[in-house]
Amino acid sequence: MDLEEDIKDEEEQEPTIWQDIYMNGDDLQKLSVVQSLPDLLQTDRNATVQRIIPKIQQELPNSSSEFHIAASKIFKLLVEMNLNLNLMRPILQGIESRDLIVSNAWLETLLSVIVALNEATVKNEVLPFASKMSQLTRPVNFRIGCCRVLSQIALHPKMSPFDVKKDILPVVQSLCQDCLPDVRSAMCMELPNVAKGLASDAVVKSSLLPCVVELSNDENSMTRAAAIDTVVNLIQYSNSETILSTIIPLMKSLCQSSLKKDGGQTYPALARSYGKLLVNVSKHLAITDCSWFLDFYKTLSTRGVATSHSEDIDPALAVACRDFCAYNLPAVTLFMRDRLRGEENKWYGIFKELAADPCYIVRRTVARCIHEVIKILDTSCALVVPDIVKLMSDDTEEVLDSLVPHLSAILLQLNAAGLLTTDDNKQTTIDIGRALLKCQAGVFKCYNWRRKMTYLQQLECLPVCFSVDFIHQHFTTLVLKLTVEGRCRPVRSQASRTILVFLRYNTKENHRRWIRDSLIRELCNSKCSYTRHIFIYMCVHAIDVFSWKYFKEFFYLQLLSLGEDPVSTVRLCVVKLCPILKHMLMLPMDRNLQVKLEQFVSKIEMMEKDRDVLDTLKVKLKEMRTPQVSKQEALLKERMKMEEEDKIQRGQLTVGLGAPATMRGGVGQHPATAPGRIPSQRDTRGGRGGLIRARTATVPSKRIGSTPRNASNPKRDPRIH
């Protein structure tokens, strides 16, 4: 009882102790008190509210900048707690600080808590304060901050459209006519939120659109650029009549004026919002207007290029304009498909120029969104195949970084459109295959191992798009060489998974036998322990890709043989897989494999000298004795995989977009997410020796694609090389 009373007394005295620390401590101690306020409120809410917070509020005006910044973050939490305190006074006083950093910190706090304030506080404290900040006598940063505050007040759930019109709209209109362009631009950017608060097409048309029209003709280019974004964002708050009579003519006028010599930053802003503009006004445009907007998009997409005959244009702004045009390619493609069915050639001329732009920044953006463009084009995507081939062969690393993660999406879409088939003689198949090999050369000439691994992940879709002969001739040996001779472990692990996917969907027995024999010979029987580790990683992938029956027939005993490896870390990895090896056994059919596994475990128990291996074996033996809960689900998946493998070997399963469940689950799967993942070096750091650290290195391009010795490989197609 005495102990409980002492603890209770200490809890009651804690706010007093913190109060003394705050009153008598230095600046660092005071900061600690402020940061501890949420915890103190949970300990003793009343004492903290009555003793500590008032002291903090009292000393805030004379505190340092660091103290203000810390207090601004804590006051946000205090306001959200709905304490019985008037916390708005220190927040508003902080915004009026002469220190710009302090003022901005408190302004961000106010903007984040406005939605949590009650109606009375907003109308009686925040709104009058914002009106005072908007006066011309106030500093420019106050007036810019006022624009943001008014925008958030207009969105407050308790502010009715009538209140917004009566109390906020006059101040907004005044700020739109401010003498400084920075204030006009800031207020212009907040007009869509004010329009949302007004919730009336008529008021938006009569009160806000005139302000936007005036700002669109402003002498300052930044203000005109802000007006362009605002017009596009106001479309959703306008009716069809307003869009037809005001917004579309206004946008046409802005488009024409943006190309003048004094356009400044206007045309990049227009290019940035062009896709959103077309999506919003598409259904309101006549066919002639649709053609006009597509023609102007072509003008923007060639801004600053030599063929556009432009002079005195800032190169940086011109590149930004073309980059934004490339970013909006999917939206413009959708616009063309829906409204301009006969203008595919004109659209393709624009796309071709952007895909071959002299600046890599523009080509990088095209590569990032080209898979979306192909999906929108659907069966018409044959237009862009030459440009896809060029982008795959691009020499710039940044372009490849954007393109490689989408290779599988591109190939599968081309397959769905009938452009990539299992017919080797089709020209598109040959061109894309050659481009993939050139892309591989560009990816592997650099030291970016993540890009290499991503490229190999994308190759897992090849059985959907190419014939087994084509894959075996031009990609199997390449991926096998990366598996055997690569130096970066994630890349080699992913290469082993990719070649297993090739093996699964190969319908020719001589090909399958060659791949299996090569993997056993080059990996499992390698003299390098590092390479034997890769074989274990490959077996983990094989358990995921193949059925248990297939794995037990071709990989089970080879994996178990590494349990006698002279290197302890190799034995350790095999021991970690013992529970999986045990659970996949089906008695009495697998009695022989069960005996082999039991002999392996007994031999480890009796003869193993490595402490890490023995400790791991004890843990894994417990797992092996634990019955598997979801055995029925595993058996069902196993049956499905076996049926697919039988059909593939008999040539009865056509590999397509929706066919094999294994491929749908396997494409793009990271090795670390595979079932039964072998722990990395970090997981076995305590082990003696640990796993060998991988070093990133390039694979010489001149050796990629060469045929291993003793490989039963058909003659290569000369058109690929």
pLDDT at 335: 95
CB atoms within 10 A of CB 96: 15
Residues 497, 545 contacting (CB under 8 angstroms): yes
pLDDT at 649: 77
d(CA 647, CA 57): 77
pLDDT at 234: 92
Q: What's the whole-number average pLDDT of the chain?
A: 83
- Residues in the chain with pLDDT values less than 50: 1-13, 18, 24, 26, 656-721
pLDDT at 654: 57
Q: Which residues contact 414 (CB under 8 A, 6 or more apart)?
A: 374, 381, 385, 420, 428, 432, 465
Residues 227, 218 contacting (CB under 8 angstroms): yes
pLDDT at 21: 52
Q: Domain-by-domain residue ranges, the chain? A: 434-673
Closest CA to 83 of 56, 106, 64, 123: 56
Multiple choice CATH, 434-673, 1.25.10.10, 1.10.3720.10, 3.40.50.970, 3.30.70.260: 1.25.10.10
Please give the distance of CA 243 from its chain centroid, rounded to a whole number.
35
pLDDT at 712: 38
At 700, which helix (H) or strand (E)? none
Q: What is the largest CA-CA distance in the chain?
A: 92
> Counting Cβ atoms within 10 Å, is residue 131 exposed (0-12), middle (13-18) or buried (19+)?
middle
pLDDT digits (tens, 9 = 90+) for 501-550: 999 999 899 999 999 999 999 999 999 999 999 999 999 999 999 999 99
pLDDT digits (tens, 9 = 90+) for 560-592: 999 999 999 999 999 999 999 998 888 889 899
CB atoms within 10 A of CB 520: 16
pLDDT at 263: 58
Asked if the peptide bond before residue 463 counts as cis, ω within 30 degrees of 0, the response is: no
Please give the distance of CA 689 from its chain centroid, rounded to a whole number.
37
pLDDT at 332: 96
pLDDT at 716: 37
Query: Full-prediction pTM beyond 0.85?
Result: no
d(CA 98, CA 455): 54
d(CA 332, CA 376): 10
pLDDT at 307: 52
